[in-house]
Structure 1
């Protein structure tokens, strides 16, 4: 006996571990939303390119656009133009869009829109290993002296590439150095400071590359921010040349890298590029469904959400049946409430989905009462079991038809849904209640019928609770956990709540 109990407990533990592990995998690895109402920010980046076309001249506008592997999930990418050809290709690790037209007149506007989110995104792919050495540029005269004077203390206060770059940025941003002012040449813009930082790093044979980023923050007007990155032999290190911050923030979208300008324009003049960023909120579930419609990777690929919509609706009902069965098991085993079997309350609860609870209880009570009367009369006729059940089933169908017809005449749509009650279940309920009546009396049969109705009502309320339906449907591993609890309950031999209440009276009499 002990070996059997141990086997059952090991099985329950295995089911529990498998179910919990499945849920943890979906939450931590697949990034599945825990609740249906969980939402994520969706960033909408709008880029407007405006220019004045030259008459009777072919137009070609080439502009860098973000790579799609930068740690964000692209939901939609649009190139909006009027009578322009669009071509996107890769160049030196960047993506470049080319708008072209045979001719244009007057003011021209081209648009690029990108919708992205961090949900379901793969980690950003690092660039390929970069160079660790570059030749020093030729500097002469005062510039050479200023560069050497700045690099001498930088070398003394740095231990590796990371600290060397940080110290260089710190020195270039100092306003007290005459050497820095000489190299800046009176231009204190962030772009020129980044140029001087890059110049000093080049003199020290440290390769660096400018990276242009856009901040994902609500803004109606924004321009790409310049960063520098260098390769230390193992990883790429990012630095802000304006303040020396290291590490690219998570809200930064790399737009393009390199010294090339954002826009190259032929056949036009007076160009202007403006950026705006807006934040929207979207349900995480809708995000996954949107990705699935684009054949992109999401948790829906290996879940019940991949089924056709009618099948999903069916399984949303079926997958909740074990939840109702477990509730009936707990009611019977822990509380001690008697019901007409384990599955009858669950099946009645399914019928309540259409009739609702109040109308369902009234219809169930009415049909059962009439059926008991018919069954009692048939018992008086001494009919055999099969014939008796057949007649009761026939009268149940007749009552369903009459109630549906009456409800239709009165304009009550609830009366029509009574036909969804399982006819065989109602017939068997009538038969079993009557048997309990004969064997244990009318009071006991009424008690069992009320217990069945109460259990059915509780099962219905639990099985239609939307947060729970979403959780069980999205994380089917919950069913393994339910099975583990059922296995544990299979060896429960303790007192029930109703037994404790009943025995308390005996204990009080013994104390007296």
Structure 2
């Protein structure tokens, strides 16, 4: 029979698992290691204005996730005001409204922004194509001469913008530039000149992030578009091209940052703090909210109680892989196929030393009582039921005694799977009668060794982090286990049969 379908299934599982894992890491920046830290900025915007004594409406631009940054959470504090979040032409805005307000008013908006170097840009759409700009005399002549001078020394939209800005710098200002600056502000003037030259450009507002700064204001930047629709930011004061790493674009649609109706003397100031937090918690909210597609399926969308449950369940395939490796490749015998995995799960709750002592005590006492039950000639179901009740009684007695002696660690023995322990005792007792104590020690020791190795693998912080945050790992484990199931060679412990051959 052809093995091609089998290998195709294994390859499909590997490709799907690796693709899902890489997608989660690259798209959502989920870290590979549990201790990785990410920088988070906490920014507070304070809006102040004086209300006229009637209805008031405040409209303020809000930051969006953008290249280098991702918005995590946002909150407002505006007692008595109604609040609505708007999306206008690709830009996010908040609108506060109130029926009656008078005197000094203060509104607060706070946002947590994650520094995400791999975040994809989400810029607002480009502005409409420039139309003819009308100037009054004598500014029309000065504007035309400034544009002609910069145009002759440029090769594209970016070099033209850089040359135009440099002509308005303090060192290189000519008469035409000084004349235009007497009538217009620098940034709107530069945008107007760029539009007259047929180049799409607009003014955007950004916040320079510096730790511990208070009462900061936004700075104006010029966004210039080329013929392909790509854009570059320019510093209108220096002509420097490119976006600084610590620049957060607050308003990127060319609109006013703050608009107040029913008030006067409005202004907005910003305070900011930087701190580090674990990367996993920094992206947890986004993973929980993004459930739109199968690729973005995430355990983080479940309630916390179910998340804690799945964090343990997703470790079971790791323990199963350890069992498959030891049984298929090494040849270790265990009492029950996957009983060591369940014991390893109990070790996670009890700690390794406490779990080993508790397991040995329960099994040892259980074997003594089971040996007595064998003389009663009971039916199998009744005998196993009696063993279950016995195991429960043993665990109860050990828990009470450990509490009486102040050994609180002994209380965790209740995490052992009682049904599995009962069947283990029953199986070992039968094995003792049929094969002798040596085989019991071999299988019991193999079970404990497998359980300890499975515990060490499942309790590793790195493995716990990967299995919980990258569900594609489960597909990879499935592919590896299928490949191991196809192994038909010698086990390591079987090779000792050939020792006499080597001696000869």
Give the TM-score of the pair, scaled to structure 2: 0.82
Deviations 1:12-71 (A, max 9, x none): 2222222222212222334434344444333222233446x59x8558575642354656
Partner of 1:227: 221
Quick check: 1:61–1:265 contact (8 Å CA) kept in 2? Answer: yes
Deviation by residue 1:101-157 (Cα, 9 ceiling, x = unmatched): 75645x6544333333355966414325512332342332xx555544443342322
Query: Closer, same or farther in 2 for the Cα pair 1:491/1:66, shift >3 Å?
Result: closer
Matched residue, 2:474: 479
Give yes or no for contact 1:81–1:109 (8 Å, CA) kept in 2. yes
Q: Which residue of 2 aligns with 1:466?
A: 461
Deviation per CA, 1:402-436, whole angstroms, max 9, x where unpaired?
33343343344444444443333233323332344
1:330 to partner: Cα distance: 0.8
Work out whether residues 81 and 98 of structure 2, in 8 Å CA contact, stay in contact via their aligned partners in 1: yes
Aligned-residue Cα RMSD (Å) equals 3.9
Distance 1:448 1:89, change over 3 A: closer
Contact in 1 for aligned 2:165/2:236 (Cα 8 Å)? yes
Establish whether residue 255 from structure 1 lines up as the match of residue 248 from structure 2.
Answer: no
Aligned counterpart, 2:208? 215
Once the two structures are superposed, what CA deviation does each residue of 1:181-209 show, in whole Å capped at 9, x if it has no partner? 6436689xxx8443553454455455543
Partner of 2:357: 362
Whether 1:34 aligns to 2:32 is: yes
Q: 1:155 aligns with which of 130, 151, 173?
A: 151
Partner of 2:113: 116
2:329 aligned partner = 334
Please tell me whether the aligned partners of residues 35 and 278 of structure 2 are also in contact (alpha carbons under 8 angstroms): yes
Native 8 Å contact 1:70 1:254 kept in 2: no
Q: Is the Cα contact below 8 Å between 1:201 and 1:207 reproduced in 2?
A: yes
Alpha-carbon contact 2:56-2:262 (below 8 Å) kept: yes
Cα distance, 1:213–1:368 mapped onto 2, change above 3 Å: closer
Work out whether 1:175 is the aligned partner of 2:171.
Answer: yes
Question: 1:263 deviation in Å?
Answer: 6.0
1:331–1:370 Cα change, 3 Å: same
SS in 1 for 2:214: strand
Give the CA deviation at 1:173: 2.4
Pick the structure with greater CA Rg.
Answer: 1
Change (3 A) 1:33 1:104: same
- Aligned-pair distance for 1:469? 2.2
Q: Distance in 1 between matches of 2:304 and 2:346?
A: 22
Q: Is the 8 A contact 1:289 1:300 kept in 2?
A: no
Q: State the distance in 2 between where 1:505 and 1:40 align.
A: 56
Instruction: Give the distance between the partners of 2:90 and 2:425, measured in 1 at CA.
Output: 75
| Counterparts in 2 of 1:290 and 1:455: CA distance versus 1, 3 Å | same
C-alpha distance in 2 between matches for 1:148 and 1:93:
33
Correspondence 1:126 to 2:124: yes
Q: Which residue of 172, 187, 195 corresponds with 1:194? A: 187
**Counterpart selection for 1:347 from 321, 339, 342:** 342
**348-357 vs 229-238, greater mean Cα deviation:** 229-238
- Secondary structure of 1:222's counterpart equals coil
Indicate the SS of the match to 1:29: helix
Q: Whole-Å Cα distance in 2 between the matches of residues 386 and 479 of structure 1?
A: 37
**Structure 2 unaligned spans of 5+:** none
Q: Distance in 2 between matches of 1:298 and 1:242?
A: 45
Aligned partner of 1:371 in structure 2 is 366
Distance 1:86 1:382 in 2: 78
**Matched-pair contact (CA < 8 Å) for 1:132–1:231:** no
How many residues end up aligned between the 2 structures? 498
Q: Please list the CA deviations of residues 57-111 of structure 1 after superposition, one character each: whole Å capped at 9, or x if unmatched.
A: 5585756423546565444444445666667767787647466675645x65443
2: CA distance, partners of 1:299 / 1:222: 42
Gaps of 5+ in 1: none
